[in-house]
Amino acid sequence: MLRGAVDTGFARVDGSLALLVQRSDQTDKALADHETRLDNIERNRWPLPALAALTGLGSLGVALYALVAR
């Protein structure tokens, strides 16, 4: 009787461990997917210094136009 209870307990623990391994694998896949998507977003975004330079040039153009238009 004790042997059956021990076997049942081991089977339950083994099943729980298998479920944890499966969930860990799914989490690893989701994390890898998110890292890939984040890398793509970071690669395709405008760098802030370039945007600041373009804004500055635009402001300079508007200021020069206002000066010349007088």
Residue 18, token pair as written in the block: 């298998």
Residue 7, token pair as written in the block: 């076997």
Average pLDDT for 31-45: 92
In this predicted structure, the answer to whether residue 20 has a pLDDT above a threshold of 90 is yes
The structure's pTM equals 0.54
3-state SS of 17-67? HHHHHHHHHHHHHHHHHHHHHHHHHHHHCCCHHHHHHHHHHHHHHHHHHHH
28 or 13, higher pLDDT? 28
